[in-house]
Structure 1
C-alpha cells in the first residue's frame, strides 16, 4: 500500500513526490539512525513509520522488504505546477541519497571493524546505523542544546524553536511541521529572552551569540563551506570560537555536517563505553586520548563506528555505564603519588552519580590499583560534569 494513501493532511499540504530506494537492513537500520541522537526532527508516528522535516519538505519514511519507501509533502503548489513527476522523483531520491550518504557501503565498513574490534565481530554493536549528513546551522544549534541534556528534551527544544521562528510547512496526521529557521529569522533582539521563556535555560544565550557570530563575525552560511576545505584541526579551531561550542559539539558538527568522517565525538556514552569495554579512563583532561584511541581502532571512517556504538548505548534499557561503579578495578602505571579525583557518571536511571577515584600503590605488589567508591547521588557543585546528550 502506498504511504500517501494513509496520510491525513491539511488542505494546503500537497504530495510532492513518492517512491522507493532499494536498500537492505545491513545498509540501513532506519529507526536507530533517525532516532539515535544525531537528528532531533524525526518521530516514529506508527510502527516503522517515521515523519520528519528535510529543508522545506515534510518527509515520511518506511523501510519495507529491503526498500526505503518515501513520500515528500509540500505547501508550495508552484513547485508541483512547474515540474514533472520524473524530475521530482529524481530530486527527492537524491535528497535521501545525500542525507543518508548512501554512496558509503556500510556492510564493507562493518567487515573491517569486525577485524579490529571484537565487539563488532560478536554483534554487540549493531549494523545498519548511518551517519546523517545534516544542515550545519541546524546541527550547530541542536548540539548547543545537547549540553547536559537528553534526546527527548533536545527534540522538544528544537521543535519549540522551529514552531516559534520557522516557516510552517503544513499539518500531517494532526501534527504541525515547520522548517528550521534561517539566520535572518533567528536574528532577533529578544531571541535569548524568548528562548528562556521556552525553557532553553542558559543555552538561550549561547544560541543568540552563535547566531550573531554566524551573521556578523563570519560570512554567514558560507562559513561552513570554508570549513569543509580545512583540515580537521583547523576547522575545529574555528568552530571553538563560537560561544557555547566546546570540543564535543565541534566534533559533532565536523562529523555530521562537514564530512569529517574519522572524527569521534566523546560524551558520557562514549566515555562509558571506553571505560567499560576498552579499559580507557576519561576525565575532562583526556578527551583527546579517548577520541584518538577510537579513531585509530575503528578505521576507516571511525566516526561512523562511533555513531553505531553511541546509538546502541542509547537503546539499552540498562546501560553498562553504571557497572564501573561496582566492578571496575584495573592496574595502572607505577608511581609514588597517591591521588584522588572526582568526576560524574550516569546510572541506569540517567541520574548523576558522583564518583571518587583513589589511586594508591600496593605495598606488596609495588603497583597502583584503581579503586572506585560511590559517593552521594548529589554531586558537589564545584565538580564539572562531563557533557552528555
Structure 2
C-alpha cells in the first residue's frame, strides 16, 4: 500500500503524543516511522513538519485517532495560567491525547499497577500474542488486542503465560464480566464523570488512578486528573508545598491532588496533567 499524506492545520507532535506514555502498543522504528496496532489494523506513520505520511488507515481514521479535530490551542490556553505550566506547554507543544480503544485501555490499566512502561508494554503484547489475531505487515507479525470473549472462553490459567502476576485474575474477571463490550462502553460513556469513575472502580483491579486514566484516555473525559508519583512530586514542588513527600501515595493524598488539579486547571485539567507529566524531566 502506498503512503497516504495528510496536511496539518493545527499544532501536532507525533513524537510527543506517542512517546509520552499514554499509549503502550507503539514503537518507533527507522527513519522516524512509528508502528502501532489499533483495533484490528497495523498503522505506520511519520511526521515531516506539517505533514503526516501513513499506511494502514485513511485520513478520517488518523484525524479521529490523534484527535486532530479538536482545538488544541484553545485547550492549552485555558490552563496556561502560571510560568511552570507554561514551560511545560512549550516543551511538549503539539502533544494531543489520543482516542484509545476503550476495552483495551481498561485492560491496559488493569495490569499497569505498580509497573513501569516497558513492563506494561510487554504484558499487553503477551496478551495480544496469546489471544489476539495475527496481522502480517511488512514481513512482520503483529497481533490485535483480543475481544473479551477471546479471553473469557477459556480459563484463568490460560493467562499464566502472559506473566501478569497478581493481576491475572483481574484480567480474567473483567473479560468475563464485559462480554458485551459495546454495551459496557456505551454505559460508561453516558455517565457523568464521577459516576463513570465509580462504575470503573467496581471492576476488578481498577483503583482511583486507573479509573481516571481510563476516563481520560479512552472516554475523552478531559476533566479527569490522574495522579501518580511523578504528578504528586510535581504538584508538591510547584503547587502544594504542604503536601508531605511520602514513599507511597495514600488515598487521601491522591484525592487532595486530584481535586486541586481539577479546580486549578479547569475543565481540561487532564490535558494539563499530560503536559506536566511530559515535562517531568525538565
Alpha-carbon contact 1:22-1:68 (below 8 Å) kept: yes
The corresponding residue for 1:66 is: 50
Instruction: State whether residues 34 and 46 of structure 2, in contact with CA within 8 Å, keep that contact through their aligned partners in structure 1.
Output: yes
Q: Is the 8 A contact 1:109 1:300 kept in 2?
A: no
Whether the aligned pair in 2 keeps the contact of 1:50 and 1:60 (CA below 8 Å) is: yes
**Residue number among 90, 94, 98 corresponding to 1:128 in the alignment:** 94
Aligned residue number for residue 112 of structure 1:
78
Q: Return closer, same or farther for 1:171/1:20 CA change in 2, 3 Å cut-off.
A: closer
The residue aligned with 2:151 is 186
Q: State the distance in 2 between where 1:214 and 1:195 align.
A: 17
Tell me what 1:382 maps to. none
Note if contact 1:130-1:308 (Cα within 8 Å) is conserved in structure 2. Answer: no
**In structure 1, how many angstroms separate the alpha carbons of the residues matched to 2:91 and 2:223?**
18
Give the alignment partner of residue 164 of structure 2, picking from 196, 200, 203: 200
Q: CA deviation at 1:47?
A: 4.2
1:30 alignment partner, one of 14, 27, 37: 14
What 5-or-longer segments of structure 2 have no aligned partner? 244-248
Deviation string for 1:249-286 (max 9, x for gaps)?
11111111112111111111211111122125263313
Say which structure is richer in strand. 1
Residue among 219, 228, 241 paired with 2:202 = 241
Q: Once the two structures are superposed, what CA deviation does each residue of 1:167-222 show, in whole Å capped at 9, x if it has no partner?
A: 111143x53111111112111332x323333221111111001111212xxx4331
Any runs of at least 4 consecutive aligned residues in structure 1 with deviations exceeding 6 A, and if so which?
A: none
Structure number with greater CO (CA < 8 Å, separation at least 6) is 2
- Over 3 Å counting, the alpha-carbon distance change for 1:195 and 1:312 in structure 2 is farther
CA contact (8 A) 2:85 2:276 kept: no
Distance (whole Å) between structure 1 residues aligned to residue 58 and residue 149 of structure 2: 26
Alpha-carbon contact 1:110-1:120 (below 8 Å) kept: no
| Residue 121 of structure 1: how far off its partner (Å) | 2.5
Match of 1:291 in 2: 258
1:254 corresponds to which of 215, 219, 226: 215
CA contact (8 A) 2:133 2:146 kept: yes
Range that drifts further, 104-113 or 38-47: 104-113
For residues 194 and 270 of structure 1, what CA distance do their matches in structure 2 show? 36
2:101 & 2:131 partners in 1: Cα distance? 17
2:182 counterpart residue number: 221
Query: 1 CA distance for matches of 2:163 and 2:227?
Result: 26
Contact persistence 1:117–1:297 (CA under 8 A): no
Using structure 1 for the length normalisation, give the TM-score: 0.67
Q: Which has the larger helix fraction?
A: 2
- For residues 160 and 277 of structure 2, the distance between their equivalents in structure 1, rounded to whole angstroms, comes to 29
C-alpha contact (below 8 Å) 2:66/2:97 kept by paired residues? yes
Structure 1 contact 120–126 (Cα < 8 Å) conserved: no
Asked whether the 8 Å contact 2:170–2:204 carries over to 1, the reply is yes
More off after superposition, 286-295 vs 103-112? 103-112
Number of the residue aligned with 1:263:
224
Give the greater-gyration-radius structure (CA): 1
Change (3 A) 1:122 1:135: closer
Compute the TM-score of the two structures, normalised by the length of structure 2. Answer: 0.90
1:304 equivalenced with 2:265 (yes/no): no
Q: 3-state SS of the aligned residue for 1:98?
A: helix
Label 1:156 to 1:213 Cα distance change in 2 as closer, same or farther (>3 A). Answer: same
Structure 1: gaps (5+ residues): 1-14, 73-90, 320-389
The CA distance in 1 between the partners of 2:198 and 2:237, in whole Å, is 30
